[in-house]
Structure 1
């Protein structure tokens, strides 16, 4: 039983009724079935993993409603289980018999009839797996259907009985509908997570550039491992002995954030390679975001009016897409690295000298995508041997511990000062560790940090 699944399985065990063969069980069938179904629905609906849904199904049914049960899962074309035609999950009231039962059931996989009837339908008794030769019982199969699509089959069995009581067959049919909905939701979540992961990989560079005379280290930890992060980074050659870097944070998460990143990152690279300097790049990217949001709002308004709806009022429809961004250009030369950079609504970069002195390396300016015709400015600092530049997103500075934030009282600068003499990799790892330890639990926001150190 996986640790993450244990609480849900224990809840299912407590929720399920007494075996209906007992006096308490018969009384429960008359009084508590509706409450059981409602609470089982809540429990199943909270699961995003179909394997856990099937585990909960067995825990709810065995031994309260049946002596054993099994679940086969299928996609649009084929039955799929643990191995060939084996069921994905088997439960037996006697745990030492579950493996033998699974082997027997593998020989008799469900053969659903045409149509989408949920059942119950008679199912062949798995013979010697459940007792001495000749021992019999009854088994029923229920098709798991959601949204008009078959997702699998649930089979229940009772030893030494010719039939299940009607109350039990009806209750399991209702439970099966809820199981099917939960499996369908879990699969939809898994599909979205896969798409998001592919999308996220496409939005981030496959590898950061290596810069002569500069060591770099990156930490990137999206809060939602299954979906696009609002944070992004880049480090790339821009030609003419220049390299450019960016650390950004889009307002919001998910597909909307992915759209902004999908606009910003290629435009940064294009403008940099066309020779635009740091401040000019931010000017143009700011206007691009504003123009894109305006076009999206106009398109939505036109579509709504064409469909006979009312015109979109101010404040309705697509909103301006805000982006905080730290963007800079590195030019290595004899004796160090020239760094020109600008911060647009982003946590300010910190410069660490070898003696432990820390200072900010840029001044605050307006978020991108907010003010029309905003003019941005850049600043230039010289990085000598051993100097390190730390660039972070607000997942670092705003990491919370109760009412406090990590950067309260210049907490980030103090932490960085203690990193004097460390390599870029060790600085990045120490800051990451301190941020995690500060909150005590899992981070509540995406986290990204980039360290650039002159050799």
Structure 2
């Protein structure tokens, strides 16, 4: 039997006969990348290969049956889902038609899935191999125990799991007995159990089932734990269950998560977040039916499995005309989160092993959804808080361009850096750039105290140095009150533990200045308390420091601060940054080592304020391959 070339969008490739097996064969193959769409691509690949061989008149294709097609699609879906989706590896898939071997009356369809990750170890090994024993891939470890009836081939740097299916639909006697005795049950079990040739379940089989279930739950927990979007959790739930444990899956999420456990998909506020089916073309119709008639769960139903009617209208054609469907309530912390529904065609009821496994899996999905909702609530609160702590807009100053960059390290919450540019009085504008010790709520308290007081003192006519003096005293007084309150809490609690909030959380580095425009320039008065010094750029590229360093605010009582004044003339630029810029790290080096910030600013001569801000931001990001590990804020003021 010769080779038949195939040309399709999935990049089918024609191969010579397999090197490990004698005799002629027809082989097609493709590479599957490590992404969640790989199982669907693999199923399409197998279906297309069988159809193409039938069209081309390959002799062995005359023995193709619907059962063979279903088994091969289920088999490849199981292998690729385990290797690609759960283990994250990239694999190669080969399908080949072999002539009959000696002693056999039929040819065979052979499916091979190869894993090319020799450096990854099998995590479910009961005993660790010797340190000098190479391990050729972990991606297919869940089916590795089927080597007695399937096969595993090791080559340098590659591990291949293959299965051989008789083409003419005539199977060995022991396989026929197995299918006859467990036909209804096998449809609801894992692909490994469906295809297992043994007539009865041995202790070895049950040991594999138990170990496989624990591995599946462990990997599912790992995948779900990293998600902070409830819709993504629902999507992953469907992809993890289908087709491994079910033909289709649906997830309803309840918006009113604050109430008691209900778990009714038809309740007000419940929405169908995700529908997943092993046959992609049935998803939309299944969604329409489920949205129109969601399953109803009685009040007495607990978190276990509850049988529901089969959605026959959506699955009326073909093998999906009837089957078993189960609903599971999802709840965490006594709160209703939604409902998970699964279905498998051709079953009277699900096997107990599957029912219990999905129940455990549903608990993990519920916990992941609860975590995602808490994270989203916290992110929403933080965003609202951040909007309240920062100005809604930067004031426009006559004769001055401004450029601003503000990037909190925690994108969902308030950072320790803050800025402000505001109109103080007739002919006077003020600006501030600060950095609070700490992050999150602790920083928000200080920012919420400092920024309004800056505006109030400036508008009352206080000079720059006087504003710094009074803000320093305000922070010290507030820290003392916090310390007194903490001491009272400790006293009431009998001295057990010390509240984390204390005087040190009130430290503030601040760059504060006043601008008074005049004809031909701007008079700038500035004070720098524990903050990176501002830099002044002249039109010819010369850079110098524009202030002298002074003590942090909120550290020393009765500290007297001073200010400095200079003229910001047309074409001159004042750059103010926080330590997220100067202390940006790349290995042991910092961005400002060797006057790095001054050199970067010197290269910005002739640029307007917005371009200067953007160029410094870009240079800071490019300084290291790692993302910034601190808040980033910079303010550029340029006289026109």
Counterpart residue number, 2:322: 136
Match of 1:427 among 612, 617, 628: 612
Counterpart residue number, 1:22: 195
Counterpart residue number, 1:72: 252
Counterpart mapping for 1:397-412 below 5 A:
397-412=582-597
Q: Secondary structure of 2:489's match? A: helix
Bigger-Rg structure (1/2):
2
CA distance in 2, matches of 1:16, 1:176: 21
Q: Secondary structure of 1:439's match? A: coil
- How far off is 1:129 after superposition? 2.1
TM-superposition CA deviations, 1:336-378 (whole Å, max 9, x none): 1111111111111000011111000011111112222222111
Q: Tell me how many residue pairs correspond in the alignment.
A: 450
Q: Secondary structure of 2:549's match? A: coil
Counterpart residue number, 1:159: 345
Unmatched segments (≥5 aa) in structure 2: 1-33, 39-80, 89-138, 144-189
Q: CA distance change for structure 1 residues 5 and 340 in 2, over 3 Å: closer, same or farther?
A: farther
Match of 1:345 among 516, 530, 537: 530
* Contact 1:12-1:59 at 8 Å conserved across structures: no
* Contact 2:35-2:85 at 8 Å conserved across structures: no
Counterpart residue number, 1:40: 220
CA distance in 2, matches of 1:371, 1:16: 64
CA distance in 1, matches of 2:549, 2:560: 13
- TM-score, structure 1 length as denominator? 0.92
* Contact 2:86-2:219 at 8 Å conserved across structures: no
Unmatched segments (≥5 aa) in structure 1: none
* Contact 1:16-1:64 at 8 Å conserved across structures: no
* Contact 1:16-1:60 at 8 Å conserved across structures: no
Q: Secondary structure of 1:234's match? A: strand
- How far off is 1:55 after superposition? 1.7
- The yes-or-no answer on 1:11 pairing with 2:86 is yes
- More displaced stretch, 315-324 vs 197-206: 315-324
Counterpart residue number, 2:19: none
CA distance in 1, matches of 2:602, 2:37: 44
CA distance in 1, matches of 2:527, 2:218: 56
- How far off is 1:116 after superposition? 7.0
Q: Secondary structure of 1:340's match? A: strand
Counterpart residue number, 1:87: 272
CA distance in 1, matches of 2:301, 2:580: 49
C-alpha RMSD over aligned residues? 2.8
Q: Secondary structure of 1:129's match? A: coil
Counterpart residue number, 2:171: none
Q: Secondary structure of 1:332's match? A: strand
CA distance in 2, matches of 1:317, 1:107: 53
Counterpart residue number, 2:358: 172
CA distance in 2, matches of 1:80, 1:209: 51
Q: CA distance change for structure 1 residues 182 and 238 in 2, over 3 Å: closer, same or farther?
A: same
* Contact 1:116-1:145 at 8 Å conserved across structures: no
* Contact 1:62-1:92 at 8 Å conserved across structures: yes
CA distance in 2, matches of 1:271, 1:341: 15
Between 1 and 2, higher relative CO (CA 8 Å, sep ≥ 6) is seen in 1
Counterpart residue number, 2:164: none
CA distance in 2, matches of 1:440, 1:215: 32
Q: Secondary structure of 2:252's match? A: strand
Q: CA distance change for structure 1 residues 62 and 443 in 2, over 3 Å: closer, same or farther?
A: same
CA distance in 1, matches of 2:360, 2:510: 52
Match of 1:104 among 289, 300, 311: 289
CA distance in 1, matches of 2:323, 2:503: 63
- How far off is 1:287 after superposition? 1.6
Q: Secondary structure of 1:390's match? A: strand
* Contact 2:255-2:270 at 8 Å conserved across structures: no
- More displaced stretch, 431-440 vs 21-30: 21-30
* Contact 2:433-2:510 at 8 Å conserved across structures: yes
* Contact 1:80-1:88 at 8 Å conserved across structures: no
CA distance in 1, matches of 2:304, 2:243: 21
Q: CA distance change for structure 1 residues 201 and 115 in 2, over 3 Å: closer, same or farther?
A: farther
